[in-house]
Amino acid sequence: MQSERLRGLIAAAYTPLTEDGHVNTAAVAPLVEHLLSSGITGLYVCGSTGEGMSLSSDERKEVAEAFTKTTAGRVPVIVQVGHNSLVEARSLAEHAQHIGADMVSATCPSYFKVNGVQGLIASMAQVAAGAPNLPFYYYHIPALTGSTIDVVQFLRQAPNAIPTLAGLKYTDTKLFEFQECLELSDGQYDVVWGCDEMLLGAIATGAHAAIGSTYNVAAPLYQRIISAFEAGNTQESRRLQSLSIQMIRTMNQYPFHSAMKAVLELRGLAVGGCRLPQQSMSGEEKALLKSQLETIGFFDWSET
Ligand code: MN9
């Protein structure tokens, strides 16, 4: 399907939870306004960052609806519908189309591994068929699904079975494979980068859009990486990417997404903690994270 292309920095949006772990849709609007004012050009909802896999299907629908309504067409909303049950995934895709989401995306099942291109095509065809009017993006994240599919072969062979296939969310670190996907069939596919700590490499390889978790808290920094690269100032873009790497290394000392949510809380956004199996952080750990982020200057360079 040829559709409008994604561009710029798309936030893999966090799902706000209450202190006792329930979905908190009242906190979606302030989060969306924060993201849009920081220069975000799209929202990816219920992905890894949004804990889609840890929510019930009813909760996923509630979250998708809250983001779609609040965003009200200002930027594209992509709803991630992947599930171990393809029946559930398809029904989440149907729901996404029904509520007016702009695009759907899905991981492959991960309990039983998908171990071949044909199996992946057949699985994703079932899911995409739930939303026949929406562009479909396969969410390639082999580190979490455990399915190491040849994604170039997937793109080559899938179009007949998945007429709505628009592209990929490419969350792996193989720049050469990312480049092959971008260049395939004269650039027919919208291939979106998903590894924030390597954004510079992806831009150099031809990326025009990226979906990631850390764009929730540091979009202006990444925007400066892009601008410096476009202006030919490679040294400056490398210096800025290095700050992103330091930020991610700091957060990775803790349960990563809990640390990210703690930073959003510091900025006054009531997103709560993460749901198990991701561990929450104690008050002491949050204080330590804050001082470590201060040490690397995060609060000076992440917001402007
Ligand atoms: O999909 C995110 N991946 C996961 C995007 O959360 C598994 C990334 O944005 C990473 O969180 C980010 C930090 O490692 O690159």
Domain CATH number, residue 190 = 3.20.20.70
Give me the phi and psi of 190, to 5 degrees please: -90, 100
Gap from CA of 232 to ligand 1 centroid (Å): 27
**What are the distances in angstroms from CA 197 to CA 77, 141, 201, 211, 276?**
23, 15, 9, 12, 25
| pLDDT at residue 148, rounded to an integer | 84
By residue range, what is the domain housing residue 125? Answer: 8-219+226-231
The answer, yes or no, to whether any atom of ligand 1 lies below 6 A from the CB of 171, is yes
Could you tell me which residues come within 8 angstroms of residue 141 by beta carbon, excluding any fewer than 6 positions away?
48, 107, 169, 171, 172, 194
Distance CA 206, CA 15 (A): 30
For ligand 1, say whether the CB of 10 is within 6 Å of any of its atoms.
Answer: no
Distance, CA of 198 to chain centre: 14
Which atom, in ligand 1's list, is nearest to the CA of 256? Answer: 11
**Per-residue pLDDT averaged across 177-190, rounded?**
97
Question: Where residue 133 falls among pLDDT bands split at 50, 70, 90?
Answer: very high
The rounded Å distance from CA 212 to ligand 1 centre is 5
Segment 164-184 mean pLDDT: 98
Mean pLDDT, the chain, whole residue set: 97
Task: Tell me whether residue 139 is one of the annotated catalytic residues.
Answer: yes
- Residue nearest atom 5 of ligand 1, based on CA coordinates: 212
Compute, in angstroms, the gap from residue 185 CA to the centroid of ligand 1.
Answer: 28
- In a domain, residue 289? The reply is no
CB 207 within 8 A of CB 257: no
Residue 56 has pLDDT above 90, yes or no: yes
Whether 118 is covered by a domain: the verdict is: yes
The pick from 9, 49, 172 for probing ligand 1's pocket by mutation, whose C-beta has the most ligand atoms within 8 angstroms, reads: 49
Tally the domains of the chain.
1
Q: Give the active site residue among 14, 44, 138, 169.
A: 169
Q: Which residue has better confidence, 34 or 3?
A: 34
Ligand 1 and 292: CB distance under 6 A: no
**pLDDT at site 76:** 98
The confidence score (pLDDT) of residue 196 equals 98
Give CA 137 to chain center in angstroms.
Answer: 11
**CA-to-CA separations, 187 to 175, 182, 276, in angstroms, rounded:** 16, 5, 40
Q: Is the CB–ligand 1 distance for residue 105 below 6 Å?
A: no
User: Would 121 be classed as within a structural domain?
Assistant: yes
Sequence-separated (6 or more) residues with CB below 8 Å from residue 234: 228
pLDDT at 89: 98
pLDDT band of 1, cuts 50, 70, 90: low
pLDDT at 2 over 90: no
Q: Does 191 score more than 70 pLDDT?
A: yes
Whether residue 95 is contained in a domain is answered as: yes
Among the residues of 254-296, which ranges form H helices? 256-266, 283-295
Is 253 part of any domain? no
80 lines ligand 1 (CB under 6 A): no
Cβ-contact 162, 124 below 8 angstroms: yes
- The verdict on the CB of residue 168 being under 6 Å from ligand 1 is no
Q: Tell me, yes or no, if 44 is annotated catalytic.
A: no
Span 121-131, mean pLDDT? 98
Site of tokens 């198990």: 276
Percent pLDDT > 90 in the chain is 97
**Cα radius of gyration (the chain):** 18
What pTM was computed for the model?
0.97
Q: pLDDT by residue (tens digit) across 196-247?
A: 999 999 999 999 999 999 999 999 999 999 999 999 999 999 999 999 999 9
Check: CB of residue 251 under 8 Å from CB of residue 234. no
Q: How high is the pLDDT of residue 119?
A: 96
Please write the tens of the pLDDT for every residue from 255-278: 999 999 999 999 999 999 999 999
pLDDT (mean) for 153-179: 98
Q: d(Cα 263, Cα 188) in Å, to the nearest integer?
A: 38
Give me the mean pLDDT over the 173-200 stretch: 98
Q: How confident is the model at residue 3 (pLDDT cuts 50, 70, 90)?
A: confident
136 with 1: CB under 8 angstroms?
yes
